[in-house]
Structure 1
Amino acid sequence: MSEQRNGIARARVGETVQGAHPAGLRVGAAAGRQVLGIALVAAFLWALRDRLASLDTNAVLAALARLDALDWALALGATVLSFAALARYDALIHRMLHRPTPPDAARRAGWTAIALSQTIGFGLVSGALVRWRMLPETSLAQATKITATVAATFLAAWAVLTAAVLLVAPIEHPHLTVWAVQGLALLGLALGGALALAGLKLPGLKVGRFTLRLPAPAMLGKILVLALIDTAFAALALWVLLPPGSELSLLALYPAFLLALGAGFVSGTPGGVGPFEITLVALLPATPEPELLAAILAWRITYFGVPALAAAALVALRPGRALDHPRIVAAPLDCPQIAHLVAQDRQAELGLMRQGELGLLRCDRTPGGWMAGRAGRTLAAVLDPVGTQARPELLAALKAAARAEGRRASLYKISARTAAVARRAGWAVAPVASDVWVNPQSFSLDTPARSGLRRKLRKATKSGLSVRAAEGPLPMAEMTAIAEGWRVARGGERGFSMGRFAPGYVAHQQVMLAYMGKTLVGFASFHANRSEWVLDLMRPAEGAPDGTMQALIAGAITAAAEAGVARLSLAALPPRAEDIVGPAAHIWRRAEKGAGAAGLRQFKMSFAPELSPLYIAAPSAAALALAGAEIARAIHRPAALAHLAPAQPAPAPDAPPALA
């Protein structure tokens, strides 16, 4: 039924998740497993030696001869349905491992590897090699990881499924009462429930030098359903091959069939041959042995032989080919083609891609793309599309890319126009923040709404503060010292859709510097292009005069006006908790606690800005809630960047308290 039924089910958990390396596939180790399997087969034979001695071989052959064409056709049809479930199972594992493999290619490689490995044995090796051949874009190490994960996850699903079946239809056992069998089944179900909860609470669990990445409960549920379909049709293929007049029902066969599979798992022989037959005979004493063994022999021809021949032909004649699929391009701004695409776009904030957490999601069949990143199990496209307007095809490309990685798709900080396109496509849409911006060309301090800003600027001027746009090399040593002091004082920086200080990152931005005499006391950096500037970092030194940040922004507005820029954004501002109704209000209130949200709002609103709504969207309301939580976590608890010192999450003066 799959290579996990040939002994690779004993693969270590670490191999299934960390990616078993080809170096670990030593011939000696594999041979050792086969020797163990042969020893176990011998133990089974010895235990049942009396029954085997009385077996009538001629009766088995006679029972096999009584099967007609309809029996064979029905068994072959059940085999096809079982393998269809197995193929989908393999595609699901690719999604769980976040492999960007097209589902059709994953299914084709999966059933081919299963058909061959369950017949020739050495499941971990043969299954990995077949997948490697069928998926040219996949390395041998990745193919081994996929194969081992298929084994371990199916083994877990088999255990839970067998427990559930035994609870409903307990078998008769000479040494165990029905209550004992059902008690063991309940224990198995409890362990399965604990595994599901662990997948929800502990997506990553360290086990020695390996990292166990448990599937989400929804993914575990899908795996369990596919295992049910697979094994049920496999059992049906055997049941229809029983001789006419057999009184064994499918419901009575199924639990014994599952337990016989377990015996095959342990043995490590190809297809569990030997232990499977002996266990099934022992668990079904009421069925005449010649008829049962004849059915098993016919089943092995149908379920193992025919698929193996088809798979061998496919591997020999039709090796897999890399297919076009959406992808996130690494280090996109280092590529001239992508750099040109980004430079021509109106959204200056695309400079966030230099931080390394976001990349450009492209699809060869669709012009343009999305700036996107991974937040937990969410693939989030940030801002509006790059190089084009929002269209349904781009939403479909994003969903396809997310589905290929086993993630949910989401849009974050999109404009009202893109939100409208998403809403028409059936996506759930909700407001998440407001873009706070001014027009430098018409900006004036001489308005009543900016009286508070004027007072701050006068204080800064009286203190001797001066502000200027950086020209030439940046005073990077002083800026680094200020940024580090700011980070330490606040415990860290936010990330994902918010910038973090790094010399190579800030060097590509427009920077405003604040001095007291010759001493740098603060700076602000902006994503900048010909059409807009967007505030990114604000870093005051300890003891900087009151009004330093206001003076930096006012200086940037003047510099942007001189450069002919029509729009300067002070970055996104989340809604006030008191403006939110329903369950979300509690979330916003908690987010605002200790985050300096009121001061941040007062600071930005002192510029009397324009406000443009920004939205978050996902294919469903449930996906929207989960995506919002994961994006918030990615912002507040970002992973350390390779070129940054490890940082802990903390409120930043230029950061809203939740999703911004």
Structure 2
Amino acid sequence: MRYPAAPPADGETECPNRPALRRVPPYARTLVRLRRLVHPRRLAAVAALLLACAVTVLLVDMLEGVAAKDVATAVRATRLADLLAGVAATAGSYAALMGFEWLAVRQAGAGAVVAPRLAAFTGFISWSFTFVLGFGVVTGGAVRLRRYGRAGLSASETLAVTLFGTAFFWLGIAALAGVSLLAAPSVLRPVLGLPAPAGIAIGLAVTMTLAAWLALGGRTLRAGARSVTLPGAGTGLAVILLGIADTGLAALGLWCVLPAGADMPFLAFLPIFAMATVAGVVSHAPGGVGAFEAVILISVPGEPSALLASLLVFRLVYYVGPFALGALGFAAAELAPQRHRLSVLPHLVLPAFAPLAPIVLSAAVFALGILLLMSGALPSEGWRMSGLERLLPLALVEASHVVASVAGAALLIVASGLRRRMRASWTAALVLLSAAAVFTLARGFDYEEAAASLTLIGLLVLARGAFDRGGRPLQTVTPRRVAGVAGAIALSVAVGIALQGDHDWYRVHWWDFAFHSDAPRFLRASVGASVALGLFVLWRAIHHPVARAAEMPDGTRIAEAVAASPDPFANLALLGDKRVLSGAGGGFIMYQVQGRTFLAMGDPVAPTREAAIDLVWRFRELAHRAGGAPAFYQVNAASLPLYVEAGFSFAKLGEEAVVDLDGFSLEGARATRYRQMLSRAGRAGLTFEIVPAAAVPPLLPALKPVSDAWVARQSGREKGFSLGFWDAAYLARFDHALVRWDGRPVAFATLWSSAGGGEMAIDLMRYGDALPGGTMDFLFVALIDALKTRGVARLSLGMAPLSGLADHRLAPTWSRVGATVYRRGGAFYNFSGLREFKAKFRPDWRPRYLACTDSRSIARVMLDATLIISRGPRGLTGGSAIPETDEDTAA
């Protein structure tokens, strides 16, 4: 890699062979800044919502005037011969997908481990799950991981099979689309408005790209340290042929059940089907529901009701049928090795189902939520409402309709917590499913949805052991999930408007209540679901989770571990404002919780490296079970390997000033300034002493006014967590450096000591008002000299926050932001002044880091850390108490 060279220094000449640097144009910098401001996840959520809105508008326009009874009549009119032809085409398509699976297994180098029959069986199940549940890498990948894992494949090999299979699937669609466009280029006009020459150009581009891919067969492509070997020419040709067979037979399955009025040749239908498949995948909806139908309805001539009926039949044949067979096959394969234990079914089902339970049940709950919303938008069937009219009061039926739709929207939100194995989401899902089972019966005798709700309740109860994480069920809801729920509600509204019949919606009265008045009931249910979602978004925007009160540890045991620690900062555990996770051999981690952040202070206090590693893993597991994110604050550079092994990322927080007392001296020319500080203080009547811990309690009443004066000068309040605060019991544990003025205490510093006293650190540093100039300089110089006389090797002066962060344009974002704040944030905290004061004593600067599991969450973790240290939002405004120096007095 070539790096830009620095400009020549004075007296040097620029090398003629050095490449000239290209100036980055201003618009490029603007684009980079915009890219940093707009998070990809937010863009994805907005894109998904816009696509859902576009599909909704299209469906409303195309399905206007379509009645549910017309669709049902068209479904019943499907000929048996056409249905059987569609089933046969579906079987051929899935056979091609099984061939894809075997090619992917061979390409991943697992052909010697996985038998062809196992690959075909696993491929059928995984693809049927992928088509219905969506998220193929997760759903289909989970099935492959389970089946191939038993055969001996590693997780990385299974992932390779999944990725190759997905790539082959898309290559097949591209091959069919390219050939079809060359044969019938005019099919792009109805959907994209492109003329026939554009279709020919696209077809040629696709086929030429595939030809180039075949020509490169067997070569290895490298990008940095990564490489991938392309399939050979034989495998590539097989992929294209199987892809054409797969997509072509799937298209044939739909073409066979198209209505008689859809007069379209099969070759002209092929590129339309390929475009519909791509649109469905891009929409991120399970099975491509909505986008797939929109493309077909736009492109294929015929009555919308008849086309919609054909699409429903195709969904049943190509999606629901194989999914049911795949689920049964998967269950049978899991049960087969333990047939002799069928008498104890729960003990058999749970181990087999538990690994996939969060993913499968989350998808099923999400699907049921959509079903409840859609059902609330559809017209009721007359015989069902007539029966309810004889059994239930109208008020209960009307209320049940709204509650069932709200429960559907809530299930869409709770599903994200189920996928993350959260126990609270599991409980919420049980409550919502129970409500759905009752109110779907009461709103329209929808026994199908009630049965589905009860089935999911049973599965959730069986898999309750898989949901072992704590935390609140709403903590996992992301903006993308909210956008998805909003899109589902919008889609249900579009379907309702399209299928409720001909209504003048401006004249429909919301307050019309009757057993056979479907339109007002649909509007009330849609508004209820929308209002519920809006209230949730509002609550989420203003809600800030607050950590519970800290659990007080065993003081005696913690004090013993602190006394044995070589790190003086372990004394922070004695403050009593932190929770403690205990480990083997007396070690522990001190931490606090803010929102989702589990923030540990410093490195683990442990007697051995093995004990420290164990504590790091246990802390990560603790946060995982609670649905939180672990982080370590102010860790040493020497300890970074502990966290690397546990999957943590790092961001520099600043530098710690550590004075080497062995190299400190008051003799010689370099120490002239220090001697002047001491002599000036002596002339002003200042004296210094170190008060042992045993003599501190009687002295505290005299020190309290000094501390109060210091606090009064701060615009916030006392901090905590990473530094001490005024607490008589806490201060009485430590020696104190004390400065008197004419016998009266005017400044003090709390001294931490490590095991053996080889290293000490300053915690609290307080001084009063109206002191002689250079009082704090005197305290530090006298303290350093006294500790050197006692044989102490090192003295820590504490952190210089944001000091030493890289400000290069290629540095990480956090580093550049921190460096900017260090330079320009003096109005809020005197960062540079604090470092300059400590630099007077010629310390060594040791970097300190933040360790967190996701580098993208550094800003959130830092905000939570600030709230913890500030002991709440009120403490955020405190400035830095830079000790008064001779220069300050002179100024």
Shorter-chain TM-score range:
0.5 to 0.7
1:553 corresponds to = 780
Aligned equivalents of 2:773, 2:650: Cα separation in 1: 40
1:417 corresponds to = 638
Where do residues 191-270 of structure 1 align in structure 2 (5 Å cutoff)? 192=533, 195-196=536-537, 199=540, 201-204=541-544
Where do residues 63-102 of structure 1 align in structure 2 (5 Å cutoff)? 83=361
1:26 corresponds to = none
Asked if the contact 2:493/2:526 (under 8 Å) is kept, the reply is yes
How many Å apart are 1:192 and its aligned residue? 4.3
Match of 1:173 among 491, 497, 500: 500
Letter in 1 for 2:499: E
Aligned equivalents of 2:700, 2:777: Cα separation in 1: 22
Cα distance change of structure 1 residues 72 and 607 upon mapping to structure 2, 3 Å threshold: closer
Larger fraction in strand: 1
Match of 2:879 among 651, 655, 659: 651
Aligned equivalents of 1:565, 1:632: Cα separation in 2: 33
Letter in 1 for 2:879: P
Letter in 1 for 2:701: A
Deviations 1:302-325 (A, max 9, x none): xxxxxxxxxxxxxxxxxxxxxxxx
TM-score where L is the length of structure 2: 0.42
Q: Tell me, yes or no, if structure 1 residue 521 matches structure 2 residue 847.
A: no
2:800 corresponds to = 573
Aligned equivalents of 2:621, 2:431: Cα separation in 1: 25
1:487 corresponds to = 711
Aligned equivalents of 2:669, 2:551: Cα separation in 1: 48
Where do residues 233-312 of structure 1 align in structure 2 (5 Å cutoff)? none
Deviations 1:145-186 (A, max 9, x none): 979999xx9x99997465243256445235866899899979
Unaligned runs of 5+ in 1: 1-69, 97-101, 122-126, 205-212, 216-326, 641-645, 656-660
Cα distance change of structure 1 residues 516 and 163 upon mapping to structure 2, 3 Å threshold: same
Q: 3-state DSSP class of the match of 1:475?
A: helix
2:700 corresponds to = 476
Q: 3-state DSSP class of the match of 1:490?
A: coil
Aligned equivalents of 2:799, 2:421: Cα separation in 1: 38
Aligned equivalents of 1:359, 1:214: Cα separation in 2: 15
Cα distance change of structure 1 residues 490 and 335 upon mapping to structure 2, 3 Å threshold: closer
Match of 2:567 among 347, 352, 356: 347
Aligned equivalents of 1:198, 1:373: Cα separation in 2: 25
Q: Tell me, yes or no, if structure 1 residue 357 matches structure 2 residue 577.
A: yes
Q: 3-state DSSP class of the match of 2:603?
A: strand
How many Å apart are 1:508 and its aligned residue? 1.7
Q: Tell me, yes or no, if structure 1 residue 163 matches structure 2 residue 486.
A: no
Aligned equivalents of 2:365, 2:616: Cα separation in 1: 27
Asked if the contact 1:328/1:362 (under 8 Å) is kept, the reply is no
1:257 corresponds to = none
Cα distance change of structure 1 residues 375 and 397 upon mapping to structure 2, 3 Å threshold: same
2:872 corresponds to = 639
How many Å apart are 1:521 and its aligned residue? 0.8
Aligned equivalents of 1:513, 1:465: Cα separation in 2: 10
CA RMSD of aligned residues (A): 5.3
Cα distance change of structure 1 residues 457 and 651 upon mapping to structure 2, 3 Å threshold: farther
Aligned equivalents of 1:418, 1:508: Cα separation in 2: 28
1:403 corresponds to = 624
Aligned equivalents of 2:803, 2:473: Cα separation in 1: 50
1:3 corresponds to = none
Where do residues 454-469 of structure 1 align in structure 2 (5 Å cutoff)? 454-469=675-690
1:444 corresponds to = 665
How many Å apart are 1:468 and its aligned residue? 0.7
Asked if the contact 1:379/1:410 (under 8 Å) is kept, the reply is yes
1:630 corresponds to = 864
Aligned equivalents of 2:605, 2:735: Cα separation in 1: 21
Aligned equivalents of 1:456, 1:639: Cα separation in 2: 39
2:732 corresponds to = 507
Aligned equivalents of 1:182, 1:450: Cα separation in 2: 84
How many Å apart are 1:461 and its aligned residue? 1.8
Asked if the contact 2:561/2:586 (under 8 Å) is kept, the reply is no
Asked if the contact 1:524/1:553 (under 8 Å) is kept, the reply is no
Tell me which structure has the larger Cα radius of gyration.
Answer: 2
Deviations 1:340-368 (A, max 9, x none): 2222111221222233332322357x983
How many Å apart are 1:483 and its aligned residue? 0.9
Cα distance change of structure 1 residues 184 and 440 upon mapping to structure 2, 3 Å threshold: same
Asked if the contact 2:562/2:605 (under 8 Å) is kept, the reply is yes
Q: 3-state DSSP class of the match of 1:409?
A: strand
- Using CA pairs under 8 Å that are at least 6 residues apart, name the structure with larger relative contact order, 1 or 2: 1
How many Å apart are 1:425 and its aligned residue? 4.7
Letter in 2 for 1:561: K
Match of 1:370 among 571, 589, 592: 589
Q: 3-state DSSP class of the match of 2:724?
A: coil
Aligned equivalents of 1:510, 1:621: Cα separation in 2: 40
Aligned equivalents of 1:95, 1:354: Cα separation in 2: 40
TM-score where L is the length of structure 1: 0.54
Cα distance change of structure 1 residues 385 and 648 upon mapping to structure 2, 3 Å threshold: closer
Unaligned runs of 5+ in 2: 1-320, 332-352, 367-409, 440-456, 509-521, 810-815, 884-891
Aligned equivalents of 1:507, 1:95: Cα separation in 2: 50
Letter in 2 for 1:607: F
Cα distance change of structure 1 residues 654 and 474 upon mapping to structure 2, 3 Å threshold: farther
Q: 3-state DSSP class of the match of 1:629?
A: helix
Cα distance change of structure 1 residues 381 and 545 upon mapping to structure 2, 3 Å threshold: same
Asked if the contact 1:379/1:409 (under 8 Å) is kept, the reply is yes
Larger fraction in helix: 2
Letter in 2 for 1:494: K
2:766 corresponds to = 539
Asked if the contact 1:482/1:539 (under 8 Å) is kept, the reply is yes
Asked if the contact 1:159/1:188 (under 8 Å) is kept, the reply is no
Asked if the contact 1:435/1:570 (under 8 Å) is kept, the reply is yes
Q: Tell me, yes or no, if structure 1 residue 432 matches structure 2 residue 772.
A: no
Asked if the contact 2:714/2:881 (under 8 Å) is kept, the reply is no
Cα distance change of structure 1 residues 443 and 148 upon mapping to structure 2, 3 Å threshold: closer
Q: 3-state DSSP class of the match of 1:444?
A: coil
Aligned equivalents of 2:840, 2:601: Cα separation in 1: 27
How many Å apart are 1:535 and its aligned residue? 0.9
Deviations 1:100-122 (A, max 9, x none): xx95876877777777787799x
Deviations 1:354-411 (A, max 9, x none): 33332322357x9834222224432122211111437654443332222233322212
Cα distance change of structure 1 residues 368 and 188 upon mapping to structure 2, 3 Å threshold: same
Aligned equivalents of 2:647, 2:782: Cα separation in 1: 44
Cα distance change of structure 1 residues 157 and 93 upon mapping to structure 2, 3 Å threshold: same
Asked if the contact 1:383/1:412 (under 8 Å) is kept, the reply is yes
Deviations 1:552-580 (A, max 9, x none): 22333344335443221001112448963
Aligned equivalents of 1:338, 1:118: Cα separation in 2: 51
How many Å apart are 1:469 and its aligned residue? 1.1
Where do residues 52-67 of structure 1 align in structure 2 (5 Å cutoff)? none
Asked if the contact 1:358/1:373 (under 8 Å) is kept, the reply is yes
1:616 corresponds to = 850
Asked if the contact 2:678/2:782 (under 8 Å) is kept, the reply is no
Aligned equivalents of 1:508, 1:146: Cα separation in 2: 39
Asked if the contact 2:546/2:594 (under 8 Å) is kept, the reply is no
Count of aligned positions: 441
Letter in 1 for 2:713: A
Q: 3-state DSSP class of the match of 2:769?
A: coil
Letter in 1 for 2:761: V
Letter in 2 for 1:549: M
Aligned equivalents of 1:451, 1:499: Cα separation in 2: 33
Identity of aligned residues (%): 22
Cα distance change of structure 1 residues 596 and 588 upon mapping to structure 2, 3 Å threshold: closer
Cα distance change of structure 1 residues 528 and 616 upon mapping to structure 2, 3 Å threshold: same
How many Å apart are 1:488 and its aligned residue? 1.2
